[in-house]
């Protein structure tokens, strides 16, 4: 990973708007009481340079980031002294059961060879739930990009994929909340206006957000 180029993209007008839009949707799906509680912890799996990890920390969560890329972890540590960053694999998390309140994976599972195995590990170490940010196969961005450019080698998912994963995680039905964001891939004025007008419940945004409540049976 070219960490400087990756972070620089988030400082472009398009990258800044997309990053803020995605993070806003992520926070909307987490239980609302987290900002009023203490000792609420989150493990961000596949954290990369820590872009989203830093924002979770700024929102009041005690954050730990994990990524297999050494350069990304070193970069994240320099940017965020208040969080813990570790090098490791999503498929084999070096933590005890229920070590964190929540586990997140933001546009990282799409690059994991065994996503079901990674999710089982996240499920194991999370006490309350999982927060996922996925590339949405039912989006305009997928039609435009698919496996090209920065998305080369990435897997594009749907809610049906997530439901199949959940069947592996839990023998009983659990509560699942979902939303999408970034309906138009560009950051044009039209894209930003459309984003405000369209409800997040529509399934066509390029960023698919899913929250899975671990201890709720529906």
pLDDT at 217: 54
pLDDT at 37: 54
Domains and CATH numbers, the chain: 3-30+37-217 (3.40.50.150)
pLDDT at 35: 54
- pLDDT, tens digit (0-9, with 9 covering 90-100), for 172-185: 878 999 999 999 98
The one-character DSSP state at 89 is B
Phi, psi at 60, each rounded to 5°: 105, 5
pLDDT at 34: 56
Q: Are 175 and 218 in contact (CB under 8 A)?
A: yes
What span, in angstroms and rounded, lies between the C-alpha atoms of 42 and 84? 11
pLDDT < 70 stretches in the chain = 1, 33-38, 147, 216-218
Q: Are 125 and 97 in contact (CB under 8 A)?
A: yes
R_g over Cα of the chain: 16
The string of DSSP letters for 193-214 reads HHHHHS-TTSTT-SEEEEEEEE
pLDDT at 33: 62
């Amino acid at each position: 990973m070219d960490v400087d180029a990756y972070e620089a993209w988030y400082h472009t007008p398009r990258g800044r708007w997309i990053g803020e839009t995605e993070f806003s949707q992520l926070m909307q799906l987490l239980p609302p009481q987290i900002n009023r509680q203490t000792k609420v912890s989150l493990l961000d799996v596949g954290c990369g340079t820590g872009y989203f990890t830093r924002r979770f920390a700024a929102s009041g969560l005690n954050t730990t980031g994990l990524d297999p890329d050494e350069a990304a972890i070193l970069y994240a540590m320099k940017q965020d002294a208040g969080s813990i960053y570790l090098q490791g694999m999503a498929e084999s998390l070096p933590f005890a059961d229920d070590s964190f309140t929540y586990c997140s994976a933001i546009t990282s599972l799409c690059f994991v060879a065994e996503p079901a195995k990674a999710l089982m590990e996240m499920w194991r170490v999370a006490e309350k739930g999982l927060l996922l940010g996925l590339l949405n196969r039912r989006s305009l961005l997928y039609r435009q990009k698919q496996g090209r450019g920065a998305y080369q080698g990435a897997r594009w998912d749907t809610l049906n994929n997530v439901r199949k994963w959940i069947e592996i995680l839990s023998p009983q039905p659990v509560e699942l909340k979902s939303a999408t964001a970034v309906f138009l891939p560009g950051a044009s004025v039209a894209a930003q206006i459309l984003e405000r007008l369209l409800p997040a419940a529509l399934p066509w945004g390029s960023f698919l957000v899913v929250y899975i409540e671990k201890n709720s049976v529906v």
